[in-house]
Structure formats: structure tokens, C-alpha cells
Structure 1
Amino acid sequence: MRDIQYAPLPPNPVQKSDPPEWLVKLVRFLVDLFEPIGKWLGAGWNGIEILLALLAGLGVLWIAWTMLQRWRLNRALAAPAAPATVIDRAAALALLEDADALAAQGRFDEAVHLLLQRSIHHIAAARPDWLSPSSTAREIGLIPGLPAAARQAFTQIAREVERSLYALRALAADDWHRAREAYAAFALQNLASAR
């Protein structure tokens, strides 16, 4: 049993070596760079705590404001439809005359675009809370409070304008007639039924 060793081995002497010079210079540079910041943070911690608390409070207020705005927008979109008498008969007929004049010159794209712009103005006049400067035609066409006839007419006109602008396909007379009939059916029919 002499071949089993029970006594501990003597410790190996650890040879300490100095770190490389580049590492020492790097550590000195970092200490010189961050020591003033550390002293400032240590000395002004109370002020930093207050600043962080204020920023957190502002963040909570911003989140609450955003949620309130979204809630108000959803509530406005679900509001009952605007009255059908919003579109003035004279204004609707004047619009159709202007658009017809453009179409007579073969400027069907501009005529349909004019119908879309004026339709947006009609909606904005009736319910300004439904629209924002960034509202798109598709978003406007999906407003739940918009009467079904208005939604259908608006969607038809917007579809023709999208085809013209985004598909880069010039509108023809048939496209113009579809958009004009959609607007006229909505605006003039609702005016006739409102009397």
C-alpha cells in the first residue's frame, strides 16, 4: 500500500507575470475616461433618481394619452351615421358639372379624382371627428358610421382613383361613368329622400 499517496502535494509556486503594457495603458485610459462620470453619478444620484422618476411618469402619461386618443377614435368611428342632408343639392350638382366638364375634355382621371376629393370634404363637413390628416381612402371607406350607400359610392370612386394613381392605368369613359353614377346615386338620391 505504499504506492498510494495520502499526503497532500506541495503547492505549485504561481509565477506572477506583469500584464502587457498595452493592457495597462488601456485600463488607465478607461479609468481616466469614466472616472469623472462615475464621480458625477455618485455625487448627483439624488438628482438622477428624480430625473428617472420624471421620465417614467412622462412615459406613463404618454401611454395613457395614446390609449385615450385611440379609445376616442374608436368611439367616434362607431358613432351613428351622419344625416343624409349633409350634401347640399346645389353643391352636388355643381360638383357634377365641374367633373363632367373635365370628363368632356377626356380628363377622366382628374374628373374622378375631383369626385373623390369632394366626397372626402362632404364627409369631413358632416363628421370632422371621423377623419384625420393621415386618413386614407380605404380607411374612410371602412368607417362603420358611414351609411351603406355612402360607403358603397365612396369605395367605387376610390377604387377608380387607386386604379389611376397606383396601377398607372389611365381611366376610360366607362370608369368615369361608374364613378359618376356612384356619386350621383348617393348624393342626389339621399337628397331626394331627405325632403
Structure 2
Amino acid sequence: MTLPATTSASETPVNPAASAPPGWGGVRNDSDLQFAPVTIPETKPPEPNWFERLLSDIFAFLADLFAPLGQALGMSWWWLQWVLLAAAIAFVLVLLVRLLGPGFGPRDTRSTADNDSEWRPDQAASLALLEDADRLAAEGRFDEATHLLLQRSVGHIAAARPDWVEPSSTARELASLPALSDAARAAFRVIAEQVERSLFALGKLERSDWEAARAAYAEFALARIERKALPA
């Protein structure tokens, strides 16, 4: 025996003649509620101003200008990537060499010795300087003799290597130049100390001060001259 099929509430047929629920008429007639579909009017995009048009023209020009280059790079990228990789490796190697400095690799001691001798004062000029300074020292003018020693020494370096000496360079700055040898820096340091004592210590230099400055200069400038050639 077959039972009749049941009908769910959702499948209940709608009766057009059925009356609306209570209160529906009031809701439907409320002017604050809209039931009709709303048509959104089409809005035109705003016209670009002069600056936007200028940027657009510039970008269009650049696009036309670099379009062939971009196409060429795209077609040759398979070998261009290896060129860029090789350039990056070369840059890293150069950077490492520069960071390690001149101590990287074998050093040419002969060239180092030649560089030391390039800025050594001329022997004749050095002897003439010592003669003039000794003449002042013999008169007891030790301050003037030491000043002359410093001024002429700076002049010797400026004449040989003008790129080392600025108009505002001081003796202490010259004594710290990395390009100078240890002997030159030591000589300038001793002479500069004596000159500073003479200028700022409000006292005259003694013979021992002058002899210390003279010995420092002679050790640096006249290292290759026989001791007998040095004036007494």
C-alpha cells in the first residue's frame, strides 16, 4: 500500500490570491523605504590636468625610446646574465684587493727604497741649510736656527712633492704623513717639538735643544753622506 507523498513547506505552491501579512501595506507605502531598483548613472572620468598630460607624454616618449633596448635585452638575456655575473665577480675581487691594501701579494722592496729616496732632500741643499743654521747657533740664536731648520725642511718637501704640502700644513701634520719614511717622520717630530717649545713655552731654546733638532735632521737628510762631510 503506497502512502501519499508529503509536501514540504518550501514546496508549498504560492497562491496569488492570498492576502499580504498584516502590516505589509504600511511598510510598502513608507516613503523612507525604497523597493524600486536604483539605476546608478554613469560618471565620466575627470579630464587630466596639464601636469598629468605632461607626465603621460613623458612616459609614452620613454616607452617608445627604450622599447628597442628592452627587446634587445630580452632577446640576449641568455648570455647577458653571464656577463653581469663576471662583472660582479671582478668588482668583488677589485674591492678585496683594495681593502687588503699594498700588503696583498709580493712587495717590491726596490720600488719602496726608490720612493724613500725620491723625497730625500738634495745633499747640497741640506749641507747649505746646516751651514746657515750652524751660523745662527754659533751666535747663540738657537731659536732662529731651529726655525730655519724647520722652514727649509718644509720647503724641500714642497719643492720635491708639492702635492704633499698644503699652505696650511703644520709640522705635526707633515710628521704624520703616511708617504714619509719613519726617519723623516721622526725628524719632523723632533724639530716640531723644539719649535713649539720656542713659540709657546715662553722660553728660549738651549744648545741641547738645537743639537737634538739638528741631529734629527742630519740623520734623515744626510744619511748617505760621510760623517766627515758634516760640519762640526
Distance 1:143 1:190, change over 3 A: farther
1:163 paired to 2:166 = no
Q: What aligned pairs does 1:41-60 form with structure 2 within 5 A after superposition?
A: none
Q: Which has the larger radius of gyration?
A: 2
**Which position in structure 2 is the counterpart of 1:135?**
169
Query: Cα offset for 1:191?
Result: 5.6
Distance 1:84 1:190, change over 3 A: farther
Determine if contact 1:82/1:146 at 8 Å carries over to the other structure.
Answer: no
**Which position in structure 2 is the counterpart of 1:125?**
159
Indicate the structure with greater helix content: 1
Tell me, in whole angstroms, the C-alpha distance in 2 between the residues paired with 1:84 and 1:158. 22
Structure 2, unaligned stretches of length 5 or more? 1-101, 103-111, 227-232
Q: Among 139, 145, 157, which residue is 1:105 paired with? A: 139
Query: Cα offset for 1:83?
Result: 3.9
Determine if contact 1:156/1:182 at 8 Å carries over to the other structure.
Answer: yes
Aligned to 2:163, the other structure's residue is in SS state helix
Tell me, in whole angstroms, the C-alpha distance in 2 between the residues paired with 1:191 and 1:129. 28
Query: Cα offset for 1:126?
Result: 2.1
**Which position in structure 1 is the counterpart of 2:88?**
none
How many residues are aligned here? 114
Determine if contact 1:116/1:158 at 8 Å carries over to the other structure.
Answer: yes
Amino acid at match of 1:174: S
**Which position in structure 1 is the counterpart of 2:210?**
176
1:115 paired to 2:149 = yes
Determine if contact 2:116/2:180 at 8 Å carries over to the other structure.
Answer: no
Amino acid at match of 2:126: A
**Does 1 or 2 have the higher relative contact order (CA < 8 Å, sep 6+)?**
1
Determine if contact 2:158/2:165 at 8 Å carries over to the other structure.
Answer: yes
Determine if contact 2:175/2:185 at 8 Å carries over to the other structure.
Answer: yes
Q: What aligned pairs does 1:145-164 form with structure 2 within 5 A after superposition?
A: 145-164=179-198
Structure 1, unaligned stretches of length 5 or more? 1-77
RMSD of aligned alpha carbons: 2.0
Partner deviation per Cα, 1:87-145 (whole Å, 9 max, x = no partner) = 11111111101000000000000000000001101111221111111111111111111
Tell me, in whole angstroms, the C-alpha distance in 2 between the residues paired with 1:129 and 1:102. 31
